Structure 1
């Protein structure tokens, strides 16, 4: 594995395969680039495939005093610049999709496609009032008992009783042992990121593709309101928040269909 430096932290990355098109995969909060291993194996025979551990995650460095989603977006931009990537299709999962949205707006020239995995389900929209107290309680509990609170959040919000136990356990363990100085501010920012979405979505220059897991509904109306480009929603049924782990074959076929659409300019 190789590394790049930005803002005091190393960024570990992996690059496999060759091709005129680069697929750049960005993982979600508290996980790491190995969540994309099935996709690296599937797509690297035909594409250049790049994955990375965002700082504070996986094998990347933790030497930062300020942690932000916007900073993760700059990390993605730095990887694109340092590796001189061209014809990049950004593929971001969960909070990683926020990072790729930051990158797509900040540095659009080498990018040709933008794909979101199970994120922006109510884009630009705050949580309903009845959930605000729960969010505030979560933030406070993360301060006093990060590990237990983070693990409980994973079980309650990100996986379901139908999620295969190895997947659910993997996610829960990664959440429990996430880096607290990074995790506390990032979780707080994700819940408030709708304000940033309102700023960035109208600036996006690429068709907005979503691969949605159906354990929670997707509301299209905010996309109609905030996007100035077209959008298209694809579905991977019967998984929770991690379709790339729970049903990798179906996910890969769906992602291939989306990539074909990007390359065909559809």
Structure 2
């Protein structure tokens, strides 16, 4: 484990292997870089692989008074700069996909590929007004019972009745243990990500590649409308939001296919 300082906060990361491109994996909310274990083992023989812990996650620091998604995206950019990474394919799961979208459109030069894992299922589309009261309730409940609210949300939205128990236990434990100041400040921002998506999508240079789990459908019409520079969608079978745990082989095969396409296009353009 190595560390850089970004916005005054230690950010932990690991590097593995070497190759014609760098795969930078960014995890989702409340989990950490160890969730990418099977992807690291699969890809480190062919590429340089970098994993990181977002601020207040895993082994990264918590000494930050203001917690914003923009600040977390800046941490990704600062890691790319600190390591002088080139030919970067950004791979983000869940919240990590939102963050790599912000990073790729703020600091585009080293980024040659963009892959989102189980996210953007309603790209740039606001929640219907009838959900406003539910969002308010989640935010208010979080202020009263943070760990319980996180667990309830995970069980309701991210996990399913057929999800293996060991995955449920692992995810629930991570959600309950999440650093509260970070969670309290960032949670309201999750529910307005559609605004940021609409703002930055025209700036995304690479095609938007999605690998989504079919436990919850993807709104293809939203992709066609808002992914203005193109998209691809691979759906894999699963019961939950965590294919790197539940279906690592299927995820690795899908990632391998997309990465090969990214590099073929890049070499052809070059």
Task: Give 2:192's aligned residue.
Answer: 192
1:37-52 equivalences in 2 (<5 Å): 37-52=37-52
Q: 1:25, 1:252 → 2: CA distance?
A: 13
Moved over 4 A (4+): none
Q: 1:185, 1:224 → 2: CA distance?
A: 32
Task: Give 2:170's aligned residue.
Answer: 170
TM-score by length of 1: 0.98
Q: 1:190, 1:136 → 2: CA distance?
A: 12
Task: Give 2:147's aligned residue.
Answer: 147
Check conservation: 1:214, 1:239, Cα contact below 8 A. Answer: yes
Displacement of 1:72: 1.1
Task: Give 2:138's aligned residue.
Answer: 138
Displacement of 1:228: 2.5
1:45-84 equivalences in 2 (<5 Å): 45-84=45-84
**Residues matched between the structures, number:** 266
Task: Deviation per CA, 1:156-198: give whole Å up to 9, x if none.
Answer: 1101011111111111110001001001122211111111111
Task: Deviation per CA, 1:184-218: give whole Å up to 9, x if none.
Answer: 12221111111111101111111110001111111
Q: 1:127, 1:70 → 2: CA distance?
A: 21
Query: What residue ranges of structure 2 are gaps of 5+ in the alignment?
Result: none
Displacement of 1:141: 0.7
Q: 2:228, 2:147 → 1: CA distance?
A: 40
Matched, 1:213 2:213: yes
Q: 2:127, 2:164 → 1: CA distance?
A: 28
Q: 2:150, 2:200 → 1: CA distance?
A: 28
TM-score by length of 2: 0.96
Displacement of 1:20: 2.2
1:1-266 equivalences in 2 (<5 Å): 1-265=1-265
Q: 2:205, 2:97 → 1: CA distance?
A: 15
Q: 2:254, 2:241 → 1: CA distance?
A: 15
